[in-house]
């Protein structure tokens, strides 16, 4: 049994929804009417069907044998970027759809950049509409060269480079007939064989982020493992305590990993971080962040420390329209990336077409 979450990104009209429709028509056999346009399988809103463009993120979970897939069909328009940000923040894999005729365009690059900033997952590059270029091998090679150059400059993991036609399913559901590409696996084969990135969260030092307390504290095990009678350190208060009771759903090596925890003396609250006493984190006061903002408005961005919610640094979003690296100094110590959160405190801004992407690194 496996479960894979896939974000589908790429430029407007390059064939994201058609690819998703092609996969879903195959995986959910018999559900969709014969004549239904492939793109309309995930473009379900009336406004989307009327204008032939995806406006809201589409989501579907389907299974093939022992494999379950949640496919996230993102809109390509800059106006609806919020959909792609949401998809790439949670996906395990990005399929970047690139129209074989047009090649890499503005949103292809932007989506790649955002996904690698938010969650650097492997990328499967798929050249769509190969039927439109008569399965031209030299065009494929040319595009592959561009992909390789991008990979070198951005440093992402490329799972595979495939091509196909989402209308006929060639290259997606079956291998390509054209002999040049006969050795390529089909896209669905690659998805079924993909085992996901093994993360060694268990081997890393203990970090629990406390979400709240309802008789017993509950939170998420970010890394490491925790046992009863273990001596732990609680930040930001800096107190030392013993673990009395731990409850989990089962052994698991992925995030989120919900835990319940009770300590000897200390009453845990939202925002507390639990670390191992024997392997304490190195506290720092400086964090660097990679930022990218999209806004027509000059709204303030603020960095917060999770517990205090007091802004420690403010920037104007117009200062970071391109990918920008900033250094942030905190008054009190920071122990892990998850201690810092970026927020826009201007309440209305959530709905002003305003987006911000950030990745944080402890210095």
Ligand X SMILES: Nc1nc2c(ncn2[C@@H]2O[C@H](COP(=O)(O)OP(=O)(O)O)[C@@H](O)[C@H]2O)c(=O)[nH]1
Nearest to residue 160, comparing CAs of 269, 46, 6, 351? 6
Q: Does 82 bind ligand X (CB under 6 A)?
A: no
Q: By C-beta, is 258 or 300 nearer to another protein?
A: 258
- Give, as ranges, the residues between 9 and 28 that touch Mg ion (CB under 5 A): 16-17
Residue with tokens 């091998």: 137
The stretch near ligand X (CB under 6 A) out of 163-171, 197-205, 215-223, 301-309 is 163-171
Q: Does 15 bind ligand X (CB under 6 A)?
A: yes
User: Where does residue 39 rank: exposed (0-12), middle (13-18), buried (19+ CB within 10 A)?
Assistant: buried
Minimum gap (Å) between residue 286 Cβ and another protein: 23
Nearest to residue 2, comparing CAs of 55, 50, 70? 70
The stretch near ligand X (CB under 6 A) out of 123-131, 180-188, 344-352, 353-361 is 123-131
Buried b (16+ CB within 10 A) or exposed e, 259-291: bbbbbeebebeebbbbbbeeeebebeeebebbb
SS3 label, residue 342: strand
Q: By C-beta, is 15 or 281 nearer to ligand X?
A: 15
As given in the structure block, the two tokens for residue 252 are 């698991």
Residue 314 and residue 300: Cα distance in Å, rounded? 6
Determine the size of the site formed for ligand X (CB under 6 A): 19
Q: Does 111 bind Mg ion (CB under 5 A)?
A: no
Chosen from ligand X, Mg ion, another protein, none, partner binding at 296 (C-beta under 5 to 8 Å by type): none
- 36-to-43, 234, 284 alpha-carbon distances in Å: 11, 56, 56
SS3 label, residue 254: coil
Residue 166 and residue 161: Cα distance in Å, rounded? 15
Do residues 116 and 154 lie in contact, with contact meaning Cβ atoms separated by under 8 Å? yes
Residue, CB closest to ligand X: 15
Q: By C-beta, is 44 or 149 nearer to another protein?
A: 44
Residue 16 and residue 75: Cα distance in Å, rounded? 8
Chosen from Mg ion, ligand X, another protein, none, partner binding at 124 (C-beta under 5 to 8 Å by type): none
Of 37, 52, 59, 157, the residue at the interface with another protein (CB under 8 A) is 59
Do residues 272 and 235 lie in contact, with contact meaning Cβ atoms separated by under 8 Å? yes
Q: Does 314 bind another protein (CB under 8 A)?
A: no
As given in the structure block, the two tokens for residue 123 are 């990328």
Nearest to residue 76, comparing CAs of 109, 54, 98, 101? 54
The stretch near ligand X (CB under 6 A) out of 15-23, 282-290, 297-305, 328-336 is 15-23
Of 7, 12, 234, 340, the residue at the interface with ligand X (CB under 6 A) is 12
Q: By C-beta, is 110 or 312 nearer to ligand X?
A: 110
Of 155, 179, 215, 238, the residue at the interface with another protein (CB under 8 A) is 215
Which residues are near ligand X by CB under 6 A?
10, 12-18, 39, 54, 76, 97, 128-129, 131-132, 165-167
Which residues are near another protein by CB under 8 A?
1-3, 5, 28-31, 42, 44-47, 55-63, 68, 70, 75, 80-83, 85-86, 89-90, 118-119, 211-212, 214-216, 218-220, 247, 249-250, 252, 254-258, 260, 270, 343-345, 347-348, 350-351, 353, 355-356
Which residues are near Mg ion by CB under 5 A?
16-17, 54
């Amino acid at each position: 049994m496996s479960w894979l979450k896939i974000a589908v990104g790429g430029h407007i009209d390059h064939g994201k929804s058609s690819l998703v429709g092609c996969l879903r028509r195959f995986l959910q056999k018999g559900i969709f009417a014969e004549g239904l346009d492939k793109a309309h399988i995930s473009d379900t809103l009336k406004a989307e069907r009327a204008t032939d463009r995806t406006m809201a993120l589409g989501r579907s979970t389907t299974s093939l044998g022992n494999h379950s897939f949640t496919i996230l069909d993102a809109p390509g328009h800059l106006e609806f970027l919020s959909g792609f940000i949401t998809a790439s923040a949670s996906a395990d894999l990005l399929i970047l759809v690139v129209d074989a005729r047009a090649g890499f365009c503005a949103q292809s690059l932007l989506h790649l950049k955002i996904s690698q900033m938010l969650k650097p997952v492997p990328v499967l590059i798929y050249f769509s509409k190969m039927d439109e270029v008569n399965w031209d091998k030299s065009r494929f090679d040319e595009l592959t060269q561009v992909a390789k150059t991008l990979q070198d400059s951005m440093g992402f993991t490329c799972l595979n480079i495939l091509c196909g036609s989402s209308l006929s399913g060639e290259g997606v559901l079956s291998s390509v007939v054209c002999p040049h590409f006969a050795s390529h696996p089909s896209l669905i084969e690659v998805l079924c064989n993909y085992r996901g990135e093994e993360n060694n969260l268990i081997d890393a030092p203990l970090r629990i982020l406390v979400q709240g307390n309802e008789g017993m504290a509950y939170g998420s095990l970010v890394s490491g493992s925790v046992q009863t009678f273990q001596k732990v350190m609680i930040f930001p208060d800096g107190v030392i305590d013993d673990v009395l009771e731990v409850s989990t759903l089962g052994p698991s090596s992925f995030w989120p990993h919900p835990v319940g925890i009770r300590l000897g003396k200390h009453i845990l609250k939202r925002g507390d971080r639990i670390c191992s006493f024997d392997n304490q984190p190195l506290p720092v006061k400086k964090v660097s962040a990679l930022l990218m903002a999209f806004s027509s408005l000059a709204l303030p961005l603020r960095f917060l420390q999770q517990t205090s919610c007091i802004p420690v640094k403010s920037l104007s979003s117009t200062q970071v329209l391109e990918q920008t690296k900033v250094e942030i100094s905190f008054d009190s110590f920071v122990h892990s990336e998850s201690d810092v959160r970026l927020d826009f405190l201007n309440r209305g801004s959530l709905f002003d077409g305003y987006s911000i992407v950030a990745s944080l690194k402890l210095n």
